[in-house]
Amino acid sequence: MPRTALIGGFVALFISAVLIQPDLSSQAQAPARTPEFLRQRAEDFRQRSKAAEKTGLAEPFKGITANGAVEKGLFSIRSTGVSTEPVRKAADAFLAALTPPQRTATVFAVDDVEWRKWMNQDFYVRQGVSFLEMTPAQRDVAIALMQAALSARGLKQTRDIMRLNHTLGELNDNDFDRYGEWRYHMTVMGKPSATEPWGWQLDGHHAIINYFVLGDQVVMSPVFAGSEPVTAHAGTFKGTSVLQDEQNRGVALVNALDDAQRKKAILKVSKTGNENLTEAFKDNVVLDYVGLRASDMTEPQRKQLLDLVALYVNNMDDGHARVKMDEVRRFLDRAWFAWIGTTDPDGVFYYRVHSPVILIEFDHQVPANLKQYAKDPNAPNHEHIHTVVRTPNGNDYGKDLLRLHYLQHPHGTAPAALR
């Protein structure tokens, strides 16, 4: 599709809400993507990536806490009764399909700091094997690994985010050196095993999944899901849309509260910037419980809260999602719901659900890669959404389970588990 047609189709549908009609005759032209330009941009991205890692990994892993101290005894090594064999077999098939150099680049130790090296921004230089480097057959087995670990909904959301990254490339003068459906990397931590700890990671623009396995236990966090745009109104993947239920059910919950409850839940009514606190390299954030406590909600409201949490948890395979939701329910009285922004469905807002065992953030973001089409390039809008799911108190990346495993079965590398 010609660039002018794509831009016109995309912008026309948002002229009243988010975007403005560009004047293509006077719009500043993107720099020519000459080999020298691409080389300089790649070097800039490498330097920015190194700087982010230096700052983000300066502290050893501790985990997200409410007061700076990890709450002990929340997680334990146990049987869930839900098999992880399909994921292990899919991981073995994926590794077997790679060439020796690809496999070398993809496999890390189970306690490697590589777990923490992810970023939702597009510029980040990632490790592992890229889908771009894979043959069609290798892509199929990589997606099969995701399919084994995720629910049908979770796989669709992840693939749709990848597709919308292609749409973003189309909207930026077909800049597929920077954006694209296959600019995502896979890594495997440890050796896939029925008894020993291992896991895998998907890392790319707006889509990050960390999936830790120990026996039949799974920890799927941190998970980042977002997009800009969130809907493709033209182009190759026209009709693709993500994160609309998360948006709409969030605003439905805040509007189900009475005035006194809203007064507690709403931290501020003005939202002029980005609010997410636990994105890339924010593993040790201290974040107190604030807002409205679930114990102060009615039963119908508590059900709405659980249904909202389930939207995020149910991206896991169905069995392990049930296990996680049981955990969420056990700590429901200690869950808090907080809100920033308007409660108008057409407005912009942020919300979070926070308990000792789960942290969810949803945020309408300021334009980043589509500023050129925004009515206000400095104001959040509905076409750029970020969500994060975390396991507080030291169990992101399954690290608390890994710590407990090392205590039971010393490997001589226990300190590395907390890197």
Please tell me the predicted confidence (pLDDT) of residue 157: 98
- Give the range among 247-256, 313-322, 365-374, 406-415 with minimum mean pLDDT: 406-415
Please tell me the predicted confidence (pLDDT) of residue 12: 47
* One-letter identity of residue 1: M
CA distances from 2 to 6, 8, 164, 171, 234 (A): 6, 10, 18, 11, 11
Residue 20: is its pLDDT beyond 50?
no
- Average pLDDT of the segment spanning 247-254: 98
* One-letter identity of residue 297: M
pLDDT tens digits along 105-145: 999 999 999 999 999 999 999 999 999 999 999 999 999 99
CA-wise closest residue to 148 among 98, 188, 72, 91: 91
The residue assigned the tokens 């049908």 is 152
Residue 22: is its pLDDT beyond 70?
no
CA-wise closest residue to 398 among 189, 157, 90: 189
Please tell me the predicted confidence (pLDDT) of residue 397: 98
pLDDT bin (cut points 50, 70, 90) of residue 410 is confident
pLDDT bin (cut points 50, 70, 90) of residue 409 is confident
Mean pLDDT of the chain: 93
Cβ atoms of residues 340 and 325 within 8 Å: no
Please tell me the predicted confidence (pLDDT) of residue 176: 96
- Average pLDDT of the segment spanning 151-180: 97
Please tell me the predicted confidence (pLDDT) of residue 32: 85
Q: Which residues pair with 358 in a beta bridge?
A: 355
The rounded percent of the chain whose pLDDT value lies above 70 is: 91
pLDDT bin (cut points 50, 70, 90) of residue 27 is very low
Please tell me the predicted confidence (pLDDT) of residue 8: 52
For the chain, what are the domain ranges? 3-418
Please tell me the predicted confidence (pLDDT) of residue 419: 52
The pTM score is 0.93
